Every structure is written in structure tokens, then in C-alpha cells.
Amino acid sequence: MTFEEKTLSREVVYEGRILNLIKEEVMTVSGQPAIREMIEHNGGVGLVAITSDNKIIMVKQFRKALERDMLEIPAGKLEKGEDPLEAAARELEEETGYKAENIEFMTRYYPSVGYIRECLYLYLCTGLSKGEAHPDDDEAIDTYMYTMEELEKLIAEGNLQDGKSMAALYAAKLRLCSAK
Amino acid sequence: MTFEEKTLSREVVYEGRILNLIKEEVMTVSGQPAIREMIEHNGGVGLVAITSDNKIIMVKQFRKALERDMLEIPAGKLEKGEDPLEAAARELEEETGYKAENIEFMTRYYPSVGYIRECLYLYLCTGLSKGEAHPDDDEAIDTYMYTMEELEKLIAEGNLQDGKSMAALYAAKLRLCSAK
């Protein structure tokens, strides 16, 4: 069965710095009108960066939306029209100071399909060499090293709660397992 | 190091049906003012429901935010103050028609930490018995059965792109592996 919801009317409620808020009246599949509130966002990139001794680089930063620190993979927003691969290289260096010889696209995914029009591109970075981190002016970031097993223990115990890190580590694990 | 961003001013830009949009001026760790646009949302539940013959129940529905069908685990929004466990039982039955004898909490996570104040609670449902699906009036949902291996192949190939499904299947896999 193919479903579709026709847009009856569309209102841009808010145009902001990183997101827009859209409100649409739609006709549902069952033939009833419904309101859909949706967020437009340029999307971003997330990186699983693995060192030569099999450590994965994680970053910790304060997240205002949650009012707490979060342990996450390196990641960043896409500028409008920016090539995700270039953004991946940039964010890895900005947030961690590392450069990667190999940056492989793994997959892309949607963090919250119910109301967010945002796509995240996930990359696997290897062949790393250390330089100097230089985060954006409004970012303050610490880096940490973990093995995959340690990160999976954190996920299983509920101590790694960042969605993009869970999605990206899963994709990396599946990729690394199938390469063996 | 502990980071924190102090709120200098807060504006509720929009109060909606499923989300609110908040705009805050903050003082960053480095001592500069910055704007944070954030979405408040009640959060939700996501379910990995496994039948006695080791099939995982997936649903497909049209997602207006993406203008396409998405293959997803059963899931749903929390009503304000609702117990996530009750929401999990309700959504499983509404979307798939199945009832679960066992609903175990796995973990909770944040789908998009940069700007969404939303938490998703993930459950593992077993001991399933089939009844009748009865989705909400504005939902139209098809159900499908997959093995974990089939779903992992879809993820690895980039054909399962729903963030909560990736996070929940990973959590379920880690849980089921450690139980062996």
C-alpha cells in the first residue's frame, strides 16, 4: 500500500538561525484533515573516527536543549548546500584536532521522522593523524577515547544516550563486521 | 571539565500541538553570548517487539516531514505526564494489534541533542499475542515481519534510515547478546 498526505495549506511560522518551523494542514490517507507541525533543518554529519590502536574518539559538550553534558561522536551541522564529505573532514578537525586519511560514507538517516526534516550523514574515519583542535567560538569540547566494547557497555547500561552516536556506532559495527 | 551555558533571556516563540519552539540567549563557556533555538516535545516510546519465531514487527507509514514512507519500529508520542510503560503497551496494540506479556525497559536516549528537548524510551516486547490493530484516526500503518539479520542488512545498505529504529535495534541486540 502507498500512503500519501496531500498538503492543503502551508504556513512558515518561524525562520531562524538553525531551523524553520512549518505548519501544514494535510488531508490524511483516511480522508480527514490534520495539522502537521514540522521543523526544517539543514542536517548534519556524524563521524566514527577510529585510531590505529582501535580507539574511537568521542567528545563531550554542554547541550543547552538538555541542560547537561553529553558524550557524543564528533558531529556538526551542514551549511546550506555544503558537501557532507567536506563537512565531515572539517568537523573532525575542528572538534578533535585529528585529520583522517580515509573518510568513508556509511549511511544517512533521519533522527526524528515524526516532525523533523533533517538528515544526518554518517562517516567512518580512519588513518588518523593528530593536530590541533579549534572548535567554533560558541563550542567548548573535551575529547575522550573508548574501545567499541566500552561504548557498547555504555549503551547497554543507558549511559550513552545520544541518538546519532547509537546510530553511527551500529552502522560502523555492521560495516566492520562484514569487512572481516 | 564541566561546561555550562547560563540563560540570559528566554522567549517562547511558538506553542503548538506537539511541540513548542523556544529561543534563548545564553552565555557560552568561553564568555560570549549566543542564540540557542530549541524544540520542546513530550518525547515518546519505541518498541522492539519480537515474536516467538524470532521475527521483529516493523511498521510502515507516510511521514509528512520527509514526504515519503518510512520503515520503522512501532512507536508513539507520550501524552504529558503519561507513564512510558503504559504508552509502550498502548502503541504496540494500536499500531500492530499485538499484546505483549513482557515489556522490558531497555534504555532511553535523545534523538537530536543539538536542539530537541525530547527523550525516547525504548522497550523490548516479548510473549506476543495477536489481536486487532486500531491506529489513530490520522495514522495509516502497514506491518511487516523481519529477522534481526534482515534488518541489519537493511541498515548496512542504507535502506533502514529511521533513527529510533537504529538506536532501539542496537540496544536490543546488545541486550539479547549479553543474555545469552
Q: Is the pLDDT of residue B1 over 60?
A: no
- At A132 the pLDDT is 78
Half-sphere exposure of A101 (CA within 13 A, CB side): 6
Q: Is A6 or B137 the better-scoring residue by pLDDT?
A: A6
- At A63 the pLDDT is 95
Q: What is the mean pLDDT of chain B?
A: 94
- At B136 the pLDDT is 75
Q: Do A69 and B23 touch (CB under 8 A)?
A: no
B112 touches chain A (CB under 8 A): yes
Q: Do B29 and A140 touch (CB under 8 A)?
A: yes
- At B17 the pLDDT is 94
pLDDT digits (tens, 9 = 90+) for A129-162: 998 777 777 778 899 999 999 999 999 999 999 9
- At A177 the pLDDT is 87
Residue B170: list chain A partners with CB under 8 A. 155, 166-167, 169-170
Measure the CA–CA gap between A163 and B113, rounded to whole angstroms: 8
Q: Do B166 and A164 touch (CB under 8 A)?
A: no
B86 touches chain A (CB under 8 A): no
Contact B26/A64 with Cβ under 8 angstroms?
yes
Q: Is the pLDDT of residue A62 over 70?
A: yes
Q: Compute CA B36 distance to the chain's CA centroid, rounded to the nearest angstrom.
A: 24
- Using pLDDT thresholds of 50, 70 and 90, give the confidence band for residue A178: confident
pLDDT digits (tens, 9 = 90+) for B101-152: 999 999 999 999 999 999 999 999 999 999 877 777 777 889 999 999 999 9
- Using pLDDT thresholds of 50, 70 and 90, give the confidence band for residue B153: very high
Helical pair B148-156 and A163-179, crossing angle rounded to 10 deg: 100
Which residues 30-69 of A have a C-beta within 8 angstroms of B? 30, 32, 34-39, 41, 44, 61-66, 69
Residue of B42, B61, B113, B117 to mutate, interface with A, max A Cβ within 10 Å: B113
> pTM here?
0.95
| Confidence check on the interface: ipTM exceeds 0.85, yes or no | yes
